[in-house]
Amino acid sequence: MKTFRGSCHCGKVVFEVIGTINEVVICNCSVCTKKGIIHSRVDDDHFRVIAGEEHLSVYRFGSEEATHCFCKICGIHVFGRPRMDPKRNTVNIRCLDDFERILSESDHVHFDGKHHPRDG
């Protein structure tokens, strides 16, 4: 299995995704849009923080069901847990070392987070 390594901008938070990334999710919710996040959903057993867990902080808003984990030092959103699938991680693929290749080789799924049914 392939291992993808990623980190925040300052490099204090480092994580790994083990396996394949075949699909990326482009969401139009306010957080993803303003931060420029592109996600890939990853099962817990294929994701691990390998350094800097003490540098992570969590942002929640609205229903406060989803978590947005970011580095306290540089502010970069590295991963989170979506409210629609809280047992999985959504990794910000822009933080992965192989970002451009992953983006070009993956299927792109557009998610309408702006009009999420649980926000209505």
Per-residue pLDDT tens over the stretch 60-80: 887 777 899 999 999 999 999
Q: Give the pLDDT mean for 113-120.
A: 66
Residue 36 confidence (pLDDT): 92
Mean pLDDT of the chain, nearest integer = 91
Residue 105: in which H helix or E strand, if any?
Answer: helix 99-105
Residues near 120 by beta carbon (within 8 Å), at least 6 away in sequence: none
Angstrom distance (rounded) from CA 85 to CA 46:
15
Topology (CATH) of 3-119: 2.170.150
The burial class, CB within 10 Å (0-12 / 13-18 / 19+), for 120 is exposed
Residue 116 confidence (pLDDT): 67
Q: Is 65 helix (H, G, I), strand (E, B) or coil?
A: coil
Question: How much of the chain, in percent, has pLDDT values that exceed 90?
Answer: 73
pTM value is 0.88
